[in-house]
Amino acid sequence: MSIDMASFTPGWSLTGGLVIGAAAAVLVLFNGRIAGISGILGGLLGKPRNDAGWRIAFLAGLVGAPVLASLLGQSIAPDIQAGWGEILIAGLLVGAGTRYASGCTSGHGVCGISRGSVRSLVATATFMASGFLTVFVTRHLLGG
C-alpha cells in the first residue's frame, strides 16, 4: 500500500473535521437537532413544516462551502473513476441504506457516536465495513 502524498492533507482534514464537529455541536445546542444530512433533506421533502429555514440554510452551506473553496483556489474536484450509471446506482443504494439504518453516516457517525449511541456505533461500523468490502472487491477481485 502506498499513500499519495500529494493528496495527503492532514492539516486540511483536521480542520474540516473540527468544522464539521463544531457545526454539529452548534446545531444540537442551539436548535436541538441532529446534523444528519438524510434527515435534514428528508424533512424538506415530506409534508410542509415550519422548520424549513434552517434546513435550507444547512444544505446551502453544504453546497456553498465547496463552491467558496473553489473560488479561493482550492482543488475540490475528486477523481471519480465511474460512469454516470454507476454513480446513479450507488446514490440510490446509499439512499436506501440511510432509510434502513434510520440515518446516514453524518447522523450516526458524527452525532450518534458522540452521544454514545450503541445503534449509531453498529451502523457506522456497518457503513465502514461495507465500504472496505466494496473497495476490496472492486479493486482486487474484479480487477478495477
Band (3; pLDDT cuts 50, 70, 90): low
Evaluate if residue 28 carries a pLDDT over 80: yes
* 104, 37 contact by CB (below 8 A): yes
Average pLDDT over residues 67-73: 86
Using the structure block, give the residue that is written with the C-alpha cell 457517525: 109
Band (85; pLDDT cuts 50, 70, 90): very high
Q: What's the confidence (pLDDT) of residue 115? A: 86
Q: In the chain, what's the furthest Cα-to-Cα distance?
A: 50
Evaluate if residue 141 carries a pLDDT over 70: yes
- For 124, the grid coordinates are 457506522
Evaluate if residue 144 carries a pLDDT over 70: no
Locate the domains of the chain by residue range: 10-141
Cβ atoms within 10 Å of 141's Cβ, excluding its own = 8
Rg from Cα positions in the chain: 17
